[in-house]
């Protein structure tokens, strides 16, 4: 199994009382899957999982799992510890756990590989490594990622290094077999796909979902001219969506579109400022019209 396409790490909507709104979450799940997403991520960073209590976390996974099951879509669940992955044994239908490289400790490449070897041994589902060095403090070379790919039970990587660096070029020039590279920096997804990535875990794909799906299909199908055009427009949307801490702007846009009841986030996040929200809405509108116009 090689994961391909667009995976949307869903937000957790909150209602006017501050409670998790599972009906709004279910609607978002079905909308993004209907627009062509290959799968969804539950309890990713975009979902504000550390601000959710245990019952809310279970509810989030229940809702998203049901939507994926009904549409035969892949389901990834954020789970980075032995305790968290063990919970997934009771959840049929989970495709993989999305497991972050151990943050803050900076254990070195050998420590990272040993960590994932141990986690894969006990996990009831395959693992997708989440590599985001500007959050974890731990860089990984292309060689270290290939060692991770060689581990039984590790099937891919969410690759979010903040750009296209030498390790990126080395990795994508010689991809491990049956190992998925999914871009995790939304603004850089187009060049990453051009270099051979299999898809992306893209928070920006809450909006313009079908266009992100088209972008992946265009690069993987060899339609470079269309892919470049889409990539430029979608990068502008993504940059606006990440102008303030994720998922604050995304929530502001979804609320303005009438798709979630409030734009509320939980501490330590603060709601997006009005200027950032308005700018993102303008980009969604402007770039959406430009994409349609470019097709004609």
**Model pTM?**
0.96
Average pLDDT of the residues in 253-281: 97
Q: What is the mean pLDDT of the chain?
A: 96
Tell me, what DSSP letter sits at residue 205? G
CA separation for the pair 79, 17 (Å, rounded): 28
8 A C-beta contact, residue 38 and residue 235: no
Q: Is 7 a catalytic residue?
A: no
Q: What are the structural domain ranges in the chain?
A: 5-214
Q: Is 158 a catalytic residue?
A: yes
Work out the pLDDT band at 291, boundaries 50, 70, 90.
confident
pLDDT at residue 296 is higher than 80: no
Work out the pLDDT band at 295, boundaries 50, 70, 90.
low
8 A C-beta contact, residue 187 and residue 163: no
pLDDT at 286: 87
8 A C-beta contact, residue 199 and residue 216: yes
Q: Which CATH architecture has domain 5-214?
A: Alpha-Beta Barrel (3.20)
**Radius of gyration for the chain, computed over Cα atoms and rounded to the nearest angstrom:** 18
pLDDT at residue 207 is higher than 90: yes
The first and second tokens of residue 16, run together, are 């006017």
51-80 pLDDT, tens digit per residue, is 999 999 999 999 999 999 999 999 999 999
What percentage of the chain reaches a pLDDT higher than 90? 95
The count of C-alpha atoms lying within 13 angstroms of the C-alpha of 204, restricted to the half-sphere facing its C-beta, is 29
Work out the pLDDT band at 95, boundaries 50, 70, 90.
very high
Catalytic residue among 7, 130, 159, 251: 130
């Amino acid at each position: 199994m090689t994961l391909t396409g667009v995976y949307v790490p869903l937000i957790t909507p909150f209602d006017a009382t501050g409670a998790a709104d599972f009906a709004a979450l279910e609607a978002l799940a079905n909308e993004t899957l209907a627009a062509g997403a290959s799968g969804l991520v539950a309890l990713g960073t975009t979902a504000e999982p550390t601000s959710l209590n245990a019952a809310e976390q279970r509810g989030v996974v229940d809702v998203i799992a049901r939507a994926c099951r009904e549409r035969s879509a892949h389901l990834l669940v954020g789970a980075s510890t032995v305790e968290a992955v063990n919970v997934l044994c009771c959840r049929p239908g989970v495709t993989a756990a999305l497991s972050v490289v151990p943050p803050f400790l900076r254990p070195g490449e050998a420590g990272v590989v040993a960590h994932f070897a141990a986690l894969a041994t006990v996990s009831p589902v395959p693992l997708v490594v989440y590599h985001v060095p500007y959050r974890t403090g731990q860089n990984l070379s292309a060689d270290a990622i290939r060692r991770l790919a060689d581990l039984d039970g590790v099937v891919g990587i969410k690759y979010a290094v903040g750009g296209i660096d030498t390790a990126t070029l080395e990795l994508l020039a010689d991809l491990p077999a049956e190992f998925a590279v999914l871009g995790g920096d939304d603004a850089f997804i187009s060049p990453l796909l051009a270099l051979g990535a299999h898809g992306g875990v893209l928070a920006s794909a809450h909006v313009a979902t079908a266009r992100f799906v088209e972008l992946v299909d265009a690069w993987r199908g060899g339609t470079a001219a269309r892919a470049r055009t889409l990539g430029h427009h979608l990068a502008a949307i993504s940059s606006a969506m990440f102008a303030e801490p994720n998922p604050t702007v995304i929530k502001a846009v979804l609320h303005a579109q009438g798709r979630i009841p409030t734009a509320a986030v939980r501490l330590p996040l603060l709601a997006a400022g009005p200027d950032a929200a308005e700018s993102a809405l303008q980009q969604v509108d402007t770039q959406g019209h430009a994409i349609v116009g470019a097709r004609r």
